[in-house]
Amino acid sequence: MAVSGWFVLLVAVGVVPVVLLDGVPGAVLWAGVLAAVIAVDLILAGSPAALEFARDLPARLRLGESAAVRLAIANPGRRTVRGVLRDAWEPSAGARPNRHRLTLAAGDSTVVTSTLTPVRRGERRAAHVTVRSFGPLRMVARQRSIPVPGHVRVLPPFTSRKHLPSRLAKLRELDGRTSVMVRGQGTEFDSLREYVRGDDVRSLDWRASARRRDAATGQMKLVVRTWRPERDRRVIIVIDSSRISAARIADEPRLDTAFEAALLLAALATRAGDRVDVLVHDRVVRGRVQGATGADLLARTVDMLAPIDPELLEGDWHAIPELVRGVTNQHALVVLVTPIDTPGASRPLLGMLPQLTRRHTVVVAAVTDPLVVAATRDRTGSDDVYRAASAERALLDVSRVATAIGQTGAEVVTAPPADLPPALADRYLALKAAGRL
């Protein structure tokens, strides 16, 4: 049972007859009146338990987008239900409005609509619906929570897809499908063409040049070899979901930045004809996508990444070489997306890397905090100087770890959250152009 403001006001008004009727007899009389009012309102109020509900929900929604969700309500009971309905979505689902006025006659049905604007990815759930049904006097109400489960999977926003067209244009240049004034890089011979200014002289084919003469002058025409990047290579993306990925940088968890970088690289690599595998790992594998290509790869990867949150435990880096061997025994590009903040925390990573670099091309991608870089420039007061010194020490630690990673034979890509996905994609294109995949 729930009471309304009108009932509270009625109780307050009852102070007057209680005083006039001299204490106890007046109080007993007024209590009887209130009990009669409560009984009449509860008996004549429609039953919330008799209502029937059905949800109409989208299966998936990208973070940052909004979608309408509908709740159909039917009243097969014998009395009108008047009151308020609360649709109990979890707060991170961003349901607005979550309360609806309800007047539903016996045998009628209606639909109420809310708008979901989630603020977190993952499974956003609604557990139940609470209905408060008032009687005709609107003093007290029957209240009941009815289980009406529902859920919407909120996918990563993939805002880094805006960088994909420009990287695909670079890929087409490498592949020789766009006219450029430079030699197409790679390791797979494609064709011969006439030399133009800007071509790498190392690509000259002297035998072919000797066989070609200008018809007018009789002079030898220089010919260069063109190459195309190799296809059908393996790209294995391993995302660290351990406790260090839970820190927020630029109001975004490091893990979410890692997802953006992995999605852009996966989209680019599958367009380049390479086979992409995505793994999320801390001490165990939290998610895996293997054997998918094209649009199916992105769809499965986004769906797999959506419900994964950082685990508050240390990552097991020594399991990574065996994990990679389980994917392929051939040479591959292995991309490890993980923070590299301090030498102590990065020691297991550094101990494992030589096992990978012996057989694979390895890239370590890490997000940097732009606030730390900004703190090194502000030295106006004594507190700012100490803060700048601390920031310089943090950047020095990152630089030391990056240098140690380079000494193992791996490459390092570091950038702020907004710049890490395109920076990683550019490194992939550079490796492909150099024929290192």
As a whole number, mean pLDDT of residues 18-41 equals: 73
Question: Confidence class of residue 177 from pLDDT cuts 50, 70 and 90?
Answer: very low
Confidence check: pLDDT of 411 > 80:
yes
Residues 306, 278 contacting (CB under 8 angstroms): no
Please say if the pLDDT value at position 284 is more than 90.
yes
Highest mean pLDDT among 21-30, 74-83, 187-196 belongs to 74-83
> Computed from CA positions of residues 160, 164, 166, 167, in that sequence, does the dihedral angle turn out positive or negative?
positive
Mean per-residue pLDDT, 3-19: 72
CA distances (Å), origin 61, targets 106, 141, 289, 304, 437: 36, 36, 20, 14, 35
pLDDT band at residue 222 using 50, 70 and 90 as cut-offs:
confident
Mean pLDDT of all residues in 321-329: 93
- Kindly tell me if the per-residue pLDDT of 186 is higher than 70: no
What domains appear along the chain, each with residue ranges and CATH number?
1-155 (2.60.40.10), 164-228 (no CATH), 230-433 (3.40.50.410)
Give yes or no for residue 68 having a pLDDT over 90: yes
- Would you say 87 and 98 are in contact if contact means Cβ atoms under 8 Å apart? yes
Interval 401-420 mean pLDDT: 95
Q: Mean per-residue pLDDT for 176-188?
A: 44
Beta strands 60-62; 252-253: pairing state: unpaired
Is the separation of the CB atoms in 350 and 265 below 8 Å? no
- What pTM, to 2 d.p., does this model score? 0.80
Q: What does the pLDDT read at residue 183? A: 41
Per-residue confidence (pLDDT) for residue 204, from 0 to 100: 74
Q: pLDDT per residue over 90-147, tens digit each?
A: 999 999 998 999 999 999 999 999 999 999 999 999 989 999 988 877 778 888 899 9
* Residue-wise pLDDT tens digits, 196-220: 776 666 777 777 777 777 766 767 7
pLDDT (0 to 100) of residue 230: 55
The DSSP string of 225-264 is EEEE---S-EEEEEEE-SGGGG-EETTEEHHHHHHHHHHH
- What number of CA atoms fall less than 13 Å from residue 153's CA on the CB side? 13
Could you read off the pLDDT of 344-395 as tens digits, one per residue?
A: 889 999 999 999 999 999 999 999 999 998 999 888 888 889 999 999 999 9
Go through 324-362 and write b for each residue having 16 or more CB atoms within 10 A of its CB, e for each that does not: beebbeeebbbbbbbbbbeeebbeebbebbebbbebbbb
Q: Is 274 helix (H, G, I), strand (E, B) or coil?
A: coil
Question: Do the bridges between strand 234-240 and strand 332-337 make them parallel or antiparallel, or are there none, so unpaired?
Answer: parallel
Q: Is the pLDDT of residue 191 over 60?
A: yes
> Which helix (H) or strand (E) element contains residue 2?
strand 2-3
Query: pLDDT tens for residues 44-66?
Result: 788 888 899 999 999 999 998 99
Question: How far is 223 from 193, CA to CA, in rounded Å?
Answer: 6
pLDDT at position 180 is 40
Q: How far is CA 192 from the centre of its chain?
A: 45
User: Residue 434 above 90 pLDDT?
Assistant: no
Write down the mean pLDDT value for the chain. 86
Q: Which pLDDT score, from 0 to 100, does residue 259 have?
A: 96
Can you give the pLDDT at residue 2? 74
